[in-house]
Amino acid sequence: MALSDSRTAVTLQNYELKKHGTFAFPVACYETFPATDPVPWHWHNDLELIVIRHGTVEIELADELHTLTEGEGVFINSNVLHTVRESDCPSCRLNSIVFHPRFLGGSPESIFWERYLNPLIHHPCLKSVRFKTDIQWHQQMIQHIQLAWNTCVEEPAGYEFHTWHSLSEIILSLVQHQPLSSDISSKKSIRNNKRIKYMLQFIQEHYDKELTLEQIAKSALISKSECLRCFRQTIGISPMHYIRQLKMQKAAELLKSTSLKISEIAERCGFSDLSYFSKTFRIEHGCTPKEYRNKYYSGIC
């Protein structure tokens, strides 16, 4: 299996549009360099496993932040909103394998689905599990992730069975090691997840305009204070910080993939003042828009 394109396209509610693998073999492998191709906030129905191959990477999701160093890994559950970014290394690199639960569980009537996958996927408070290198069962999980990734990429004889075996070992171990959660925290987590998706959709539709906290809160039928709390608890930043990150992400994409003038890109991203746009871009990306384009422009328009 050739490595899949790691670029992420999302809907207005940040649902990932990309299909991972094929219907017959719903598994895909990615090699990602977050410094040059940042992964936007997104969610999908698939399960995801990541191993850091070089540098330090931040993986943020609903009220959780993992700073992972080389050799560590993480499991991200189905339907969990998350993002990936580099921490302190411009050349950081990670390997990820994304697969649909039916690859292991088959039909919803199967014992694998009923006893293992369904409780894991619908565990209301299990968003992710970080795998550290100093815990024995975590070490085994990291080895299984990398083995599954290598097997899919290299495609030796019977790689489908070997991939299934490695991923099955991971799911079994996760089920065996996860504690039960309380109903109170479960309901709160589900409620926050729904609210944040409504607000992210609203922001995606209007990010090129001057948005107020009141407008964002109204999109989810909540108060301004509840909006702030929901953003802080779910994705760890304020609504305005998220909007700035989104604008800068959109600007970076346009600088890399189009020949639009920088002033046009600034306007498309909701900036009427070019100097303010350049200053904000430098804060977010560590260089000016012109320097960024000179480094990453693909020449494909």
Same domain, 191 and 151: no
- Whose CA is closest to 248, among 210, 276, 284, 272? 284
- Tell me what pLDDT residue 169 has: 96
Q: How far apart are CA 161 and CA 145, in angstroms?
A: 15
Helices (H), 5-62: none
Same domain, 96 and 227: no
Same domain, 187 and 65: no
In a domain, 12, yes or no: no
∠ Cα 11 19 56 (to 5°):
80
- Tell me what pLDDT residue 124 has: 72
Residues in a beta bridge with 61? 64, 82
Q: How far apart are CA 129 and CA 260, in angstroms?
A: 42
Read off the pLDDT band of 7 (50, 70, 90): low
- Tell me what pLDDT residue 127 has: 87
Q: Strand, helix or coil at 98?
A: strand
DSSP state of 221: T
Residue that wins the pLDDT comparison between 217 and 253: 217
Read off the pLDDT band of 184 (50, 70, 90): very low
Q: Which of 177, 199, 225 is at the close of a domain? A: 177
Mean pLDDT computed over 130-147: 95
In a domain, 9, yes or no: no
Mean pLDDT computed over 245-272: 89
pLDDT at residue 52 greater than cutoff 50: yes
Same domain, 265 and 210: no
For residues 21 and 27, the answer to whether their CB atoms sit within 8 Å is yes
Same domain, 152 and 73: yes
Structure tokens at 250: 């959109």
Q: Which of 204, 219, 237 is at the close of a domain? A: 237
| Element spanning 128, H or E | strand 128-131
Q: Strand, helix or coil at 48?
A: strand
Share of the chain above pLDDT 70, in %: 87
In a domain, 63, yes or no: yes
Summarised one tens digit per residue, pLDDT across range 78-112 is: 888 888 988 777 889 999 999 988 899 887 668 88
Same domain, 85 and 218: no
Sign of CA dihedral 144, 147, 152, 158: negative
Same domain, 144 and 196: no
pLDDT at residue 301 greater than cutoff 50: no
* Residue located via tokens 């100093």: 134
Domain range for 88: 27-177
Same domain, 112 and 51: yes
Structure tokens at 166: 């490695």
For residues 133 and 142, the answer to whether their CB atoms sit within 8 Å is yes
Residue that wins the pLDDT comparison between 278 and 43: 278
Same domain, 168 and 188: no
Sign of CA dihedral 69, 134, 31, 54: positive
Read off the pLDDT band of 17 (50, 70, 90): low
Summarised one tens digit per residue, pLDDT across range 205-214 is: 898 888 999 9
For residues 266 and 251, the answer to whether their CB atoms sit within 8 Å is yes
In a domain, 15, yes or no: no
Task: Return mean pLDDT, the chain.
Answer: 85
| Element spanning 194, H or E | helix 183-206
Q: What is the CATH number of the domain that holds 291?
A: 1.10.10.60
Same domain, 116 and 230: no
Residues in a beta bridge with 93? 54
